[in-house]
Amino acid sequence: MEFIQKIKQKFGIVGSDYALHRSLERAMQVAPTDISVLVLGESGVGKEFIPKIIHQLSSRKHHSYIAVNCGAIPEGTIDSELFGHEKGSFTGATSMRKGYFEGANGGTIFLDEIGELPLSTQVRLLRILESGEFIKVGSSKIQKTNIRIVSATNLNMIESIQKGKFREDLYYRLNTVQINVPPLRFRKNDIKFLFKKFANDFAEKYHMPSVILTEESLKYLEDYPWPGNIRQLKNLVEQISVVEKKREISVEKLKEYIPENIPSISLSKTFFQDLPRERDFLYKILFDMKKNLNNLKNITFKMIKNHTDTRFIKENQQLMEKVFGKTIYDRDNSIFQLKDSSRYNKDSNQLYYEEVEEDQSKSSDKLSSFSLQTKEIEFIQKTLKKNNGKRRKTAKELGISERTLYRKIKQYGL
């Protein structure tokens, strides 16, 4: 967690949302490797920070980092931009030119809006990913490059593949590891911190006091769906900072900038509003939460097992009831469960006990106040299907060991 805070400070990332931290953790995990990474998220969520983090934490950090917006380059010139061209290869090619892949040799290239690449360029990119080879426009000489590719898109890539706009083999080459960046409407608790940061930045830039929000106006911002995400919030704060004379912004004033009757967001144009993909994203978070909860319970079991002071148990009874549903405590170095918390004899300082099965993993599942087993099974099945039944790839994508995955497959009869 401390390292994540340092990363956030270094790159100016604001927020403590679980899904955001999950994205940063995955970026840090894959950084030391050379595998390709695909960053998914809606426009304006801040996807550009992920490749920068990956590059800075990799062995390539002393070499070039180049970011290319594939959607901003005309189709007729994109091959020349990426792979270079020879003199006279087309009208206007008055000299030889190095492309981005040659210029960034040894470093990292970030291909933003990868879903906008023409099919002819996709074939060339696939060759680089497979062999590191490319040919300049107008040349017959094969050149080699040693480069790491991180790509990003706000499109539904599966839909693009089905429509024939994107090559399936290239998608799986780019998507060795997938990192999802959450939209702002999933990070409601971060809105106040982002607003404050932008307000302070613009106050410094324009030499004026910072704008602040009332409780009602903050609630209004938190309930807004933010189709433009962080970019939209930043533009709003800048506009208010410059235009408004009063520094405290009321909810009535906010409604002049963002209307109360908000048009619904187009499902076809957003990644996280595509329901199957959003559901997978939420399952992933719930899957991780369950794993963390079970780990916490196992640690608590060990602490209680090694604690023989019944007064400690009594003092912490309320907390343990919240965690386990019933009080768990130690008697004669064994794990027990309180049969009836009301049956405590104050005079004799006696507790009435009922022995509980020693197996901690079974106890954890049994005592869970809510069950994610059904969702866990469904998520494992979907991930196995996606990876054609390959357990190693499935375990890697789920963030668990192959051994754990094998145990769950056997446990659930998958």
Question: Residue 269 falls within a domain, yes or no?
Answer: no
Question: Residue 264 falls within a domain, yes or no?
Answer: no
Residue 260, pLDDT > 70, answer no
Per-residue model confidence (pLDDT) at position 364: 46
Per-residue model confidence (pLDDT) at position 358: 42
CATH number of the domain that 404 lies in?
1.10.10
Question: Residue 152 falls within a domain, yes or no?
Answer: yes
Q: Please tell me whether residues 11 and 79 are part of one structural domain.
A: yes
Question: Residue 262 falls within a domain, yes or no?
Answer: no
Q: Please tell me whether residues 177 and 61 are part of one structural domain.
A: yes
Question: Residue 266 falls within a domain, yes or no?
Answer: no
Q: Please tell me whether residues 161 and 43 are part of one structural domain.
A: yes
Structural domains in the chain (count): 4
Q: Please tell me whether residues 324 and 397 are part of one structural domain.
A: no
Q: What percent of the chain has pLDDT over 90?
A: 56
The answer to which of 145-159, 263-277, 299-313 has the lowest mean pLDDT is 263-277
Residue 141's pLDDT band (cuts 50, 70, 90): very high
Residue 189, pLDDT > 50, answer yes
Q: Please tell me whether residues 336 and 217 are part of one structural domain.
A: no
**3-class secondary structure per residue, the chain:** CHHHHHHHHHHCCCCCCHHHHHHHHHHHHHCCCCCCEEEECCCCCCCCHHHHHHHHCCCCCCCCEEEEEHHHCCCCCHHHHHHEECCCCCCCCCCCEECHHHHCCCCEEEEECHHHCCHHHHHHHHHHHHHCEEECECCCCEEECCCEEEEEECCCHHHHHHCCCCCHHHHHHHCCEEEECCCHHHCHHHHHHHHHHHHHHHHHHHCCCCCEECHHHHHHHHHCCCCCHHHHHHHHHHHHHHHCCCCEECHHHHHHHCCCCCCCCCHHHCCCCCHHHHHHHHHHHHHHHHHHHHHHHHHHHHHHHCCCCHHHHHHCHHHHHHHHCCCEEEECCEEEEECCCCCEECCCCEECEEECCCCHHHHHHHHCCCCCHHHHHHHHHHHHHHCCCCHHHHHHHHCCCHHHHHHHHHHHCC
Q: Please tell me whether residues 27 and 168 are part of one structural domain.
A: yes
Per-residue model confidence (pLDDT) at position 295: 66
Per-residue model confidence (pLDDT) at position 146: 95
Question: Residue 44 falls within a domain, yes or no?
Answer: yes
Better pLDDT: 284 or 134: 134
Q: Please tell me whether residues 153 and 12 are part of one structural domain.
A: yes
Last residue of a domain, one of 141, 167, 182: 182
Segment 95-124 shows an average pLDDT of: 94
Residue 130, pLDDT > 80, answer yes
Question: Residue 214 falls within a domain, yes or no?
Answer: yes
Segment 291-300 shows an average pLDDT of: 67
Per-residue model confidence (pLDDT) at position 201: 95
Question: Residue 121 falls within a domain, yes or no?
Answer: yes
Last residue of a domain, one of 182, 200, 223: 182
CATH number of the domain that 247 lies in?
1.10.8.60
Q: Please tell me whether residues 166 and 31 are part of one structural domain.
A: yes
Residue 255, pLDDT > 70, answer yes
Q: Please tell me whether residues 343 and 394 are part of one structural domain.
A: no
Q: What is the pLDDT of residues 315-358, one digit of tens each?
A: 555 555 555 554 444 444 444 444 444 444 444 444 433 444 44
Mean pLDDT rounded to a whole number for the chain: 80
Q: Which domain holds residue 49?
A: 2-182
Last residue of a domain, one of 130, 163, 182: 182
Q: Please tell me whether residues 93 and 12 are part of one structural domain.
A: yes
| The overall pTM is greater than 0.85 | no
Per-residue model confidence (pLDDT) at position 276: 45
Q: Please tell me whether residues 22 and 167 are part of one structural domain.
A: yes
Residue 153, pLDDT > 90, answer yes
CATH number of the domain that 171 lies in?
3.40.50.300
The answer to which of 293-297, 368-372, 405-409 has the lowest mean pLDDT is 368-372
Q: What is the pLDDT of residues 34-45, one digit of tens each?
A: 999 999 999 999
Per-residue model confidence (pLDDT) at position 259: 73
